[in-house]
Amino acid sequence: MLKDKTAIITGAGSGIGEAIALLFARNGARVVLADLHERDAERVAARIITEGGHALPLGVDVSRPDDCEGLVRRTLRDFGRLDVAVNNAGIGGAAAPVGEYPVEEWDKVMGVNLRGVFLCMRHQLPAMHAHGGSIINMASILGKVGFPLSAAYVAAKHGVVGLTENAALEYATSGIRVNAVGPGFIRTPLLDKNLSPAQLEGIAAMHPMKRLGTAEEVAELVLWLASDKASFVTGAYFPVDGGYLAQ
């Protein structure tokens, strides 16, 4: 589905980003794996190369403008073009009510989850302008609804959805499609690190399907959006949430 295409995936060193990188490579893409933790990106890249794919791991902090510019510049230098970008890097942030939310935590979450998406798109869009492409921004079910004690995350993900819609309108005649994906609670290392088994069971019960999603299930939707099979799809938001938002 992505034969001879070049794709950037941020946050590609684990979880949903790793699953997307592996699936893209297995479908013929040359993948650039950007992650704050370069060793994690290198681990995933090594697996892709072992399977016969093409992968370039890079240490990138998406909250830094120079890093985002350098990511696109290196992609163009090594592979000659950019066809697909998945802006997936994100962090959870502190758990606190709005009136007590730590300002430094707010800035950190916004810096990665919203500013990071903007900074990446700021350089991805010009790189795609001549030949078109597909950008997929990773939002969340919390890009559409609230969730107590998660003000920064919720606000940032709502912002990602709005930014996606705006960019889709601006670049629709340039052949660049921009869409957002909204995972529900997905079983990833980030979730396992921050929640106890009992908490995970409670969250699974909040979904009509009574389970958590998998990174691979999210990756399958992202692959479709990245491909030419989704050629008339732009400015859209796609939940992958086991029915969470239908309640």
Given this model, what pLDDT does residue 117 score?
A: 98
Among the ranges given (55-59, 81-85, 191-195), the one the predictor scored with the smallest mean pLDDT:
191-195
Q: Which fold has domain 6-188+214-239?
A: Rossmann fold (3.40.50)
Given this model, what pLDDT does residue 87 score?
A: 98
Given this model, what pLDDT does residue 226 score?
A: 98
Confidence grade of residue 192 (pLDDT, cut at 50, 70, 90): confident
User: Alpha-carbon distance 223 to 19, whole Å?
Assistant: 10
Given this model, what pLDDT does residue 193 score?
A: 77
Confidence grade of residue 219 (pLDDT, cut at 50, 70, 90): very high
Spatial contact of 84 and 8, defined as CB atoms under 8 Å apart: yes
Given this model, what pLDDT does residue 60 score?
A: 98
Domain range summary for the chain, segments of one domain joined by +? 6-188+214-239
For 99, the 3-state DSSP assignment is: helix
Instruction: Tell me how far the alpha carbon of residue 3 is from its chain's centroid.
Output: 21
Spatial contact of 161 and 180, defined as CB atoms under 8 Å apart: yes
In the residue annotation, 153 being an active-site residue is answered as yes
Res. 190: pLDDT tops 80: no
Of the residues 101, 153, 171, 244, only one is catalytic, namely 153
* Mean pLDDT estimate for the chain: 96
Q: Map tokens 């946050």 to a residue.
A: 11
Q: What percent of the chain has pLDDT over 90?
A: 95
Q: CA 186 → CA 38, 183, 213, 217, distances in Å?
A: 23, 7, 5, 9
Given this model, what pLDDT does residue 189 score?
A: 75
Res. 214: pLDDT tops 90: yes
Give the N- to C-terminal CA distance of the chain in Å, as an integer: 34
Q: Give CB contacts under 8 A, 24+ apart, made by 145-151.
A: 145/245, 148/97, 149/95, 149/96, 149/97, 150/93, 150/95, 151/96, 151/97, 151/98, 151/101, 151/106
Which of the two residues, 162 and 189, has the higher pLDDT score? Answer: 162
Confidence grade of residue 191 (pLDDT, cut at 50, 70, 90): confident
Task: Quick: pLDDT tens for 12-64.
Answer: 999 999 999 999 999 999 999 999 999 999 999 999 999 999 999 999 999 99
Given this model, what pLDDT does residue 139 score?
A: 98
Q: What percent of the chain has pLDDT over 70?
A: 100
Res. 103: pLDDT tops 90: yes
Which of the two residues, 196 and 241, has the higher pLDDT score? Answer: 241
**Contacts with 128 (C-beta within 8 Å, 6 or more apart), sequence order:** 82, 83, 85, 135, 174, 175, 176
Complete DSSP assignment for 192-235: HHHS-HHHHHHHHHTSTTSS-B-HHHHHHHHHHHHSGGGTT--S
